[in-house]
Structure 1
């Protein structure tokens, strides 16, 4: 039996029903988070929930729970669904209301839904690396909001998949911003480069962990945009996300990156990241 959380209750999946008038369905009017689970424990959950509230505030959406309550809901879903390694998905929409573009007046109750699923770590893929494809970044200018408006990301990801690639790399005005569902990093002469956390990217939680680990390891970090041409010339490229962790990139478009194998700094950060997660999983 799969247990979901919906509108204040824990219910079986078969009883989950979303209204056609939910503003998330009509407009993507809502925000979401994905929290990784290792060995039955939520990883960086406080950071994820805090970002959920930050995203909600940016679209003037008031979440009807405290951060502590949402953390408890996430943990209950992990326990109820017997998740060892996997993730919790949680989203908040502005609620159910007849279709009008402006906010409902009077306001309606926001809709909170969540579930937990098992999903293995991509260990083998992380050991070998992946191919990615550059695409034009034609998204809106508030990419810092983790909103449900992901059509541009979906189209970019599909373009990459059709080209036999794992991820799409967004390029805006010649500069690499981020991936369709990841943050991008380059390494040149031992220095780590990544786009600054402004309105053009989502400040990924795994991104934040990697930057902290880099500084702890003495790896120089430069948070500034780099061009697509600079990306081709990097010694190493990798991407990060909740589900992909630290994922090496061995080819960008038709260009092999470095030696075509995961680079030294990337592997170093993979090992450091693995040490952050529960021992039972890290050793698997």
Structure 2
């Protein structure tokens, strides 16, 4: 995927080819930073406020002070869309690190955070949305603060790579047999007409799409139960699906090469997908 040419760095806009960071950068050396990925539909951000609010929660959690308030950051990101003349489906990647300073575990004083954001085209993957994907199970070896959207993603990367090597789309993570989430998405089980997912604790990322799905379920009269399920429960599920900003609401039709129910996306998953599409069409327009 080609990166759009204009990059936002600090409060300025520059061509991506001219961007240079010092080698002593805390994001690179310590993973000392946070990020967000925001979905774009037809040139408009989706769940924009939710992502910005989560970025600030993550910043607070690692004691990182951003140089903008939420309104100022929103305005900068809206300018980024306009300066790139972006009017397609895509995504924004936004990263904030503690800054550039001589390498030391202790936080540097008087150093400004390094901030950048860029936009890429990303068409909707209609094939996976309609027909579903396969997944594997993988032990969750991440740290205890997964609710922070930090740059420390090596365990996620390793799990996702294993899934890829096994021709699967995602890795479903578990701690002692209890499912938490996936390597880059939240995961849900449908059983007897109810949606089950891990509670929003420190062990999972509180997904923006996850919050929207809870709202959709309430509007549709579908019980949304924050109660963790086990790896053993997976193969007894009526339906299984995952969610993220880039994957939207994607059915899972097999896990560890074992088919889920009849191997087709279920009716509740489809209802949530339809609610997502309606909401995306409405909410995306509100960022214009």
Residues in 1 aligned to 2:90 and 2:257: alpha-carbon distance in whole angstroms: 33
1:1-284 paired onto structure 2 within 5 Å: 2-83=5-86, 84-104=88-108, 106-278=109-281
| Shift, 1:117, TM fit | 1.1
Q: How many residues align?
A: 280
TM-score normalised by length of structure 2? 0.95
Unaligned runs of 5+ in 2: none
SS in structure 2 at match of 1:98: coil
Q: How far apart are residue 278 of structure 1 and its match?
A: 2.2
Offset of residue 167 of structure 1: 0.6
Within 2, Cα distance between the matches of 1:215 and 1:115?
Answer: 34
Alpha-carbon distance in 1 for matches of 2:241, 2:31: 30
Once the two structures are TM-superposed, the CA of residue 87 in structure 1 deviates from its matched residue by: 1.0
Which whole-Å CA distance do the structure 2 matches of 1:35 and 1:234 have between them? 30
Any idea what the Cα deviations from partners look like across 1:175-232, whole Å, max 9, x if unmatched?
A: 0000111000000011100000000000000000011000110001110110000012
In structure 2, what is the Cα distance between the partners aligned to 1:34 and 1:179?
A: 16
Q: Return structure 1 stretches of 4+ with deviation > 3 angstroms.
A: none
Structure 1 unaligned segments of length 5 or more: list them: none
SS at match of 1:4: strand
3-state DSSP of counterpart to 1:276: helix
For residues 169 and 82 of structure 2, what CA distance do their matches in structure 1 show? Answer: 31
Q: CA deviation at 1:79?
A: 1.7
Q: Is the 8 A contact 2:216 2:272 kept in 1?
A: yes
Paired residues of 2:134 and 2:257 also in contact (CA < 8 A): no
Deviation, 1:140, is 0.4
Q: Write the distance in 1 (CA, Å) between the matches of 2:206 and 2:219.
A: 19
Alpha-carbon distance, 1:72 to partner: 1.2
How much is the aligned-residue C-alpha RMSD, in angstroms? Answer: 1.3
| Secondary structure of residue in 2 paired with 1:278 | helix
